[in-house]
Amino acid sequence: MLNMIDDCSRVLTGTRLYPRECLLAYLDFIPRAFELYGIPLAMYVDYHSFFFTHIPGNLTYLAETLRYFDVSLLYAPTPQAKGKIERHHGFWQNRLPSFCLAEGIRELDPANEQLDLLREHHNRHETHREIRMPPQEAWEQALKEGRSTLRPCQRDPWWPYLWSIRSQVRIDADGTVPLEKQRVKITPTYRRSAIHCRHADGSITYLAEPPGSGGPPIILYRYENATSPPWNV
């Protein structure tokens, strides 16, 4: 389970289950929260390898993606320093297993559908013991008083490709590139390389240039028929 919480209001901006914790899960999870609530100036995270690298001056893939949106990372030195989010992990651990058992939910997709409803109910109707009001009420009060630094999420044409796992691939002399266990022909064939984008929904896109290269994305090939997201990357 991945969770995201607004530090001020305690609004749960994201809660979602994945088969395992991996880069593609984060690339699916974070933009969902940004689209619903806006883009923050900073995220408070731990020293997990998805967020932090010990190589001076280097950024992880995820940190590099967030920097594109001017989102900084602040690092919690200990698990106790992330008490707000850690308590919500326990909150869901106490509720979700018995709820899924009672409702006969055994798959992730229906569980996530219910999680969206449960998260919304918690935000709007459950009084938080520290702030003594529902989180949504605290959120709306902060907006009314001008205490929010969230930026609107304005999706540009590069949005789906920024939240993908990208790699540069060679285009062979016959104009083909690797796709799963086969090779496919792309156009135009005069290019030497392409940008392979693996999306969280299982689809794959080949672009002419990487994000940030200027101009709109040029799609060389799009594969929509992937069977399932590869949650091992």
Domains of the chain: 2-144 (3.30.420.10), 159-223 (no CATH)
pTM over 0.85: yes
Q: What is the pLDDT of residues 170-189, one digit of tens each?
A: 999 888 999 888 899 987 66
Average pLDDT over residues 41-64: 93
Specify the pairing of strand 165-170 against strand 204-207. unpaired
* Per-residue pLDDT, 82: 74
Q: Is the pLDDT of residue 19 over 90?
A: yes
Q: What is the pLDDT of residues 184-230, one digit of tens each?
A: 998 766 778 999 999 999 999 999 999 887 789 999 999 986 556 66
CB neighbour burial string for 217-232, b if at least 16 within 10 angstroms, e if fewer: beebbeeeeeeebebe
Query: Left, alpha or beta for 70 (phi > 0: left; psi -120 to 50: alpha)?
Result: left
CA 33 to chain centre: 7
Q: Is the pLDDT of residue 231 over 70?
A: no
CA distance 41 to 201: 27
Strands of 31-133, DSSP E: 42-45, 72-75
Q: What is the pLDDT of residues 145-156, one digit of tens each?
A: 999 999 998 888
CA 1 to chain centre: 12
The three-state secondary structure class of 4 is strand
The separation between the first and the last C-alpha atoms of the chain, rounded to the nearest angstrom, is 16
Average pLDDT over residues 3-17: 94
Query: Left, alpha or beta for 155 (phi > 0: left; psi -120 to 50: alpha)?
Result: beta
Q: How far is CA 93 from CA 8, 88, 97, 101, 104, in A?
A: 23, 8, 7, 13, 17
Q: Is the pLDDT of residue 88 over 90?
A: no
Closest CA to 164 of 53, 65, 63: 65
- With vertex at residue 41, the alpha carbon angle to CA 140 and CA 201, rounded to the nearest 5 degrees, is 90
Q: Which two tokens stand for residue 141?
A: 């009060």
Query: Left, alpha or beta for 178 (phi > 0: left; psi -120 to 50: alpha)?
Result: beta
CB 21 within 8 A of CB 30: no
Which residues partner with 185 through β-bridges?
Answer: 176
